[in-house]
């Protein structure tokens, strides 16, 4: 389309900005409301009362802050019968030694430490899961990341969601125990835009593979393709959700969120971790990736400045009003959810928005991602793990 003058271009940009601002604010309002409603709505859908034996799987890599506290929470589960399996590529790493020490404190619970030797997957995490998924005694597998902290009834509550038509149950994580700027920024990302959008999806019955907590039946996993279905990507959690969908099983979020202990985080590590997830979304969930700017404050602030003249306001007034409104409502939401709000919240908010916008723009221009201090090209298919044959056939339920 040809524009007759520079004024027409400016007016068109203003109207587009007004549209962008309206969509962003509406999405903010809907997702904030969903954050309140999701626990009640999804708990009503939790129909299962079965409590079969469970194999809890703990992949071990790095000895992060609060590692011991998070792993000890597994042994406090008020659940009839479960075993705990840990696996690591390096059995003599600091994290591996600490995990065996934790095991020694709980002789009444069946535990096993396994050394992973698989090397066929794009993600080292997937390689590390081959042994415990193969050698677990029970068909129900509950996988927990090393920095996820469980409440004593979490296993019971998550099991309520594993109904006949559900293939994968995940939990929405929230950041806690942030001890420096990097950790506060990551907590603000997790408890802000990321959490709101996941809660919104969950209220409408949608779920995504989020790997902090994953609960599933091994039999379903094998029917969906097993490791062959998830070994080609560094986003194995989302790949598992897609694999379950191909056999007609849903992925859902539990009504019980999971606390992630952050401790101290380097800001560069936070940036690289967010970039990894953004690149994965660009490749595996393009629509979600394209909509990310609508969930961020800075794009809405820019849109408000460009659209303000349409209603007779100075550009600065539109930008300031949007920024203050966004920050105030998000802070109130954090207080209502019981999430910690730092006295430095305004500076953290601005830093978070800068990181998120920088991550989204960078994700268009790179496919190189970092996981556990190792670099990977997210575009290149890796050799797949051969997972046919008897070693991965699930044993009968006990």
What CA–CA distance (Å, rounded) separates 278 from 358?
11
What is the span of the domain harbouring residue 228?
A: 40-266
Q: Is 90 exceeded by the pLDDT of residue 9?
A: no
Least confident of 5-9, 195-199, 297-301: 5-9
Is there a contact between 148 and 212 (Cβ–Cβ < 8 Å)?
yes
User: How far, in Å, CA of 60 to CA of 93, rounded?
Assistant: 9
Residue 310 lies in a domain: yes
Percent of the chain residues past pLDDT 90, beyond the cut: 72
For residue 301, the Cα-to-chain-centroid distance in whole angstroms is 26
Q: What angle do CA 86, 91, 97 make, to 5 degrees?
A: 75
Do 198 and 168 lie in one domain? The reply is yes
Residue 217: which pLDDT band, with cuts at 50, 70 and 90?
very high
Q: Specify whether 240 is located in the same domain as 306.
A: no
pLDDT tens readout for residues 60-103: 988 887 899 999 999 999 999 999 999 998 889 999 999 999 99
Higher local confidence (pLDDT), 346 or 379: 346
- Is the same domain home to 126 and 228? yes
- The beta strand positions in the chain, using DSSP E, are 54-59, 82-88, 111-115, 140-144, 148-149, 166-170, 173-178, 213-217, 250-253, 258-263, 368-371, 374-377
- How far does CA 372 lie from the centroid of its chain? 16
Q: What is the pLDDT of residues 131-148, one digit of tens each?
A: 999 999 999 999 999 999
Q: Specify the pLDDT at position 118.
A: 77
Question: Does residue 271 lie within any of the structural domains?
Answer: no
Mean pLDDT, the chain, integer: 89
Quick check: 2 pLDDT over 70? no
* Domain count along the chain: 2
Neighbouring-strand partners of residue 253: 170
**Alpha carbon distance 331, 342 (integer Å):** 10
């Amino acid at each position: 389309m040809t524009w007759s003058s520079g004024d027409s271009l400016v007016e068109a940009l203003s109207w587009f900005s007004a549209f962008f601002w309206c969509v962003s604010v509406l999405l903010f309002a809907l997702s904030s409301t969903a954050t309140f409603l999701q626990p009640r709505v999804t708990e009503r859908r939790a129909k299962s009362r079965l409590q079969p034996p469970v194999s809890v799987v703990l992949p071990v890599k790095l000895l992060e802050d609060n590692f011991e506290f998070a792993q000890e929470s597994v042994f406090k589960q008020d659940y009839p019968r479960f075993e705990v399996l840990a696996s690591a590529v390096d059995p003599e790493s600091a994290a591996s030694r600490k995990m065996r020490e934790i095991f020694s404190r709980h002789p009444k619970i069946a535990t096993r430490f396994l050394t992973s030797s698989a090397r066929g997957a794009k993600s080292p995490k997937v390689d590390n899961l081959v042994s415990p998924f193969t050698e677990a005694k029970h068909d129900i597998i509950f996988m927990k990341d090393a920095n996820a902290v469980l409440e004593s009834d979490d296993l019971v509550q998550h099991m309520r969601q594993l109904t006949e038509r559900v293939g994968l149950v995940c939990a929405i994580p929230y950041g806690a125990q942030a001890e420096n700027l990097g950790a506060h920024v990551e907590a603000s990302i997790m408890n802000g835009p990321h959490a709101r959008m996941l809660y919104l999806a969950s209220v409408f019955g949608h779920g995504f593979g989020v790997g902090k907590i994953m609960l599933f039946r091994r039999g379903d996993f094998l029917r969906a393709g097993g490791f062959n279905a998830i070994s080609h990507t560094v986003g194995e959690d989302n790949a598992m959700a897609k694999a379950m969908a191909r056999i007609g099983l849903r992925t859902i979020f539990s009504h019980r969120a999971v606390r992630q202990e952050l401790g101290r985080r380097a800001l560069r590590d936070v940036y690289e971790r967010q970039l990894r997830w953004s690149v994965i979304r660009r490749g595996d969930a393009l629509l979600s990736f394209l909509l990310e700017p609508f969930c961020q404050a800075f794009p809405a602030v820019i849109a408000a400045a460009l659209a303000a003249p349409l209603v007779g306001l100075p550009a600065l007034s539109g930008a300031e009003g949007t920024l203050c409104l966004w920050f105030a409502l998000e802070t109130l939401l954090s207080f209502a959810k019981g999430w910690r709000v730092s006295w430095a919240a305004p500076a953290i908010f601005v830093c978070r928005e800068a990181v998120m916008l920088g991550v989204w723009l960078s994700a268009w221009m790179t496919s190189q991602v970092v996981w556990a201090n190792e670099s990977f090209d997210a575009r290149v298919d890796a050799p797949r793990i051969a997972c046919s044959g008897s070693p991965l056939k699930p044993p009968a339920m006990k």
